[in-house]
Structure 1
Amino acid sequence: MASPLAALGVGTPILAAPMAGGPSTPALVTAAARANGLGFLAGGYKTADALAEQITQVRREGVNFGVNLFAPGPLPIATEAFRRYARAIAPTAQAYDIDVQAAEIVEDDDHWSDKIDLLLSEPVPVVSFTFGIPEAAVIASLRAAGTLVVQTVTSPAEARLAADAGAEVLAVQASAAGGHSGTLTPQRIPASIPLTHLLGEVRQAVSLPLVAAGGLATPPGVAGALRAGAAAVMVGTVLLRADEAGTSLPHKAALADPARRQTVVTRAFTGRPARALRNHFTDHYTHIAPTGYPALHHLTSPMRKAAAAAGDPERINLWAGTGHGHATAEPAAQILQRLASRL
């Protein structure tokens, strides 16, 4: 694997992507490392204390790992747009006795400062960022602490900004990726550009090592991304059904359901564009959902948690990339080894 990732002792250029909200567990991160790859803990939606606990668990295993944070990139929402959307989704949320119309607008930064303080006081091998590019001083401080800094980008323009801010590696995310797009301009749905083409465009813009992400779920896909110039690939959706993943049971079942073959890019759950399997919620609310993150995330979160607990896949965010049909229920190491079989 190309430097500087090689210094982490990664023998196979396949990384386990951070998947916030439950799927990325210490066990999954450890399994990726023991398969000669690298896994990322998902710091999104966690307090600094909760993240610290997971870091401690992985450190006990004696493996290298990364941590991903949502960098501040807020999308404030107008009160009337928020209230209008709350009224629209109220009948669906009411199925779980949740009164979304009484919800207050929450515009937080996901405990940003506390998490940065944690990662500076107890440095980890790798930190990656998505949703925004941190201030250059933050990146410089992490690098000075011995941490490799990776920035998620979705275009050549974003790649140049990340390089200027001091990022050392770029995770190049194509629109085929499951879950949230890392785009810095979430007011616009990212263009549907094949990953290999996007890698070429970014390579022309910057000289940093690239990690390819988005829709990679087969051995030929992984090999193709590496041939296109990536130093490594990052996979997420294909690991959602892995034994070590913390994916909810209805989400795992939906991924295995042959009737659910189509994904859509939607703002309906969080106010940011994200790719998910179609369900009742995406069908009814994608076309009217406003931009507004994290306000819409907090608005729909109680409903999604209740639906997941009830085994209801129609009211939860079934994040999935275009390669979701290749997700399998088996140990993560077997999945990762299969993906590396053409290398």
Structure 2
Amino acid sequence: MNSDTKRLLQLIRTRLPLIQAPMAGVQGSRLAVAACRAGALGSLPAAMLPAERLCAEIEAVRRQTGQPLNINFFAHKQPQPDAAQQAAWLQALQPFYREFGLSGADIAAGGGRQPFGEEQAEIVLRYRPRVVSFHFGLPDRVLLDKVKSSGAVVMSSATTVEEARRLEADGADIVIAQGLEAGGHRGMFLSRDLTTQSGTFSLLPQVCAAVKVPVVAAGGICNAATARAACDLGAAGIQIGTALMLADEADTPPLHRAALQSSRAEHTALTNLFSGGFARGIVNRFIREAGFVNPAVPPFPLAQAAAAPLKAAAEAQGSDEFSSLWAGQNAPLAETGSAAEIIGRIMAGWNGPAVMPA
């Protein structure tokens, strides 16, 4: 076991240097519990959960395992809606709205992904999870100090070396190097320039060389070979998401599961259509016809309100052509089975026998 892996395990206090990626929409406490029981760091995605629901999920985990838990929040700055931009976005969606018989009245107010704020900080102080992770940078200093005062280890995603350096300087204890292969939302927070983004196995060694905190590799890690490659390139640990989406304990909807197990999973792409943020998912009709990256889309997370009625209408007809089928580029290698079995298969490639499952 290398020294960085030892430091990571001392921080997160798990048996394995593996983090179950928080994945809103395809998991709840069940997957987090299964990951914890397998010796990994289980995670709960909190950005889309009202306070009461988040507390219930945390308590569900606590009832079933005493192992360390990660709670993940988004640290984006909430933009102000722009009426002209919203109108342009709705106009771009009109052909699809007409097809499904929808109108502006079908757009729900509010909702979407909430940034980390005082309410969420109070939940952290109440439950004191071992790890609190963030996407889109870190919250402001006052909020971050509250998290630190709870005793939590702070972890956040970097998609560039510059972001990794910023996270370390701002107080992150662990940096997740999120490669371009990763499914779901990019953690970009210093720039929206997609030309700055690189794959895991280019980004990882550069981040490892640039920061002194432990670095966790994320993106494209789905089997023993990719886990071994991450270890060989200096990762202190790994984070897996898409690899667990077919797990028995995942709540991945049937349409999404079917897409992951089809040849369609061979084609994923970045798009801003579903939320306004760049995210990787399986290409479907909406992405092809509305444009992978559409300039009319409002900033994250405002686009979701107008895109959501299309998803609901199509899914009511048994179609996933307007659904956000988040998945990484190695989705075709995802396997079924229990979370423990999947984690065991992946960890078999990790070059650290001292942290292998018993």
Coarse TM-score class (shorter-chain normalised): over 0.9
Trace 1:295-306 onto structure 2 (pairs within 5 A): 295-306=302-313
Matched residues in 2 for 1:276 and 1:109: separation?
Answer: 18
Q: Which residue of 2 aligns with 1:254?
A: 259
8 Å CA contact retained: 2:177, 2:216: yes
Matched residues in 2 for 1:240 and 1:94: separation?
Answer: 33
8 Å CA contact retained: 2:8, 2:237: no
Residue in structure 1 matching 2:129, options 124, 127, 142: 124
Matched residues in 1 for 2:137 and 2:111: separation?
Answer: 15
2:73 is the counterpart of 1:81 = no
Matched residues in 1 for 2:216 and 2:316: separation?
Answer: 35
Q: Which amino acid aligns with 1:65?
A: L
Matched residues in 2 for 1:105 and 1:87: separation?
Answer: 18
2:294 is the counterpart of 1:288 = yes
2:32 is the counterpart of 1:29 = yes
What is the percent sequence identity of the aligned residues? 29
- TM-score scaled by structure 1? 0.92
Residue in structure 2 matching 1:327, options 294, 314, 334: 334
Q: Which residue of 1 aligns with 2:58?
A: 55
Q: CA deviation at 1:49?
A: 1.2
Structure 1 residues 291 and 229 mapped into 2: Cα distance closer, same or farther (>3 Å)? Answer: farther
8 Å CA contact retained: 2:231, 2:237: yes
Trace 1:103-122 onto structure 2 (pairs within 5 A): 103=107, 110=114, 112-113=116-117, 114-122=119-127
2:49 is the counterpart of 1:46 = yes
Structure 1 residues 104 and 48 mapped into 2: Cα distance closer, same or farther (>3 Å)? Answer: closer
Matched residues in 2 for 1:206 and 1:8: separation?
Answer: 18
Structure 1 spans left out of the alignment, 5+ residues: none
Matched residues in 2 for 1:245 and 1:310: separation?
Answer: 23
Matched residues in 1 for 2:222 and 2:238: separation?
Answer: 10
Q: Which amino acid aligns with 1:336?
A: I
* 1:210-245 deviation line (CA, Å, top 9, x unaligned): 111011112111111111111110010111111111
Matched residues in 2 for 1:279 and 1:166: separation?
Answer: 39
Matched residues in 2 for 1:306 and 1:117: separation?
Answer: 37
Q: Which amino acid aligns with 2:48?
A: Y
8 Å CA contact retained: 1:186, 1:272: no
Matched residues in 1 for 2:35 and 2:108: separation?
Answer: 40
Q: How many residues align?
A: 342
* 1:304-333 deviation line (CA, Å, top 9, x unaligned): 244345431101001010010012222111
Matched residues in 2 for 1:301 and 1:56: separation?
Answer: 29
Structure 2 spans left out of the alignment, 5+ residues: 351-358
8 Å CA contact retained: 1:105, 1:295: no
Deviates more, 1:8-17 or 1:316-325: 8-17
Q: CA deviation at 1:97?
A: 3.8
Q: CA deviation at 1:205?
A: 2.2
- TM-score scaled by structure 2? 0.89
| SS of equivalent residue, structure 1 residue 295 | coil
Q: Which residue of 2 aligns with 1:2?
A: 6
Deviates more, 1:73-82 or 1:285-294: 73-82
Q: CA deviation at 1:94?
A: 4.4
Deviates more, 1:43-52 or 1:73-82: 73-82
Structure 1 residues 160 and 186 mapped into 2: Cα distance closer, same or farther (>3 Å)? Answer: closer
| SS of equivalent residue, structure 2 residue 321 | helix
Structure 1 residues 94 and 10 mapped into 2: Cα distance closer, same or farther (>3 Å)? Answer: farther
Q: Which residue of 2 aligns with 1:99?
A: 103
**C-alpha root-mean-square deviation of aligned residues, in Å?**
2.2
| SS of equivalent residue, structure 2 residue 56 | helix
| SS of equivalent residue, structure 2 residue 128 | coil
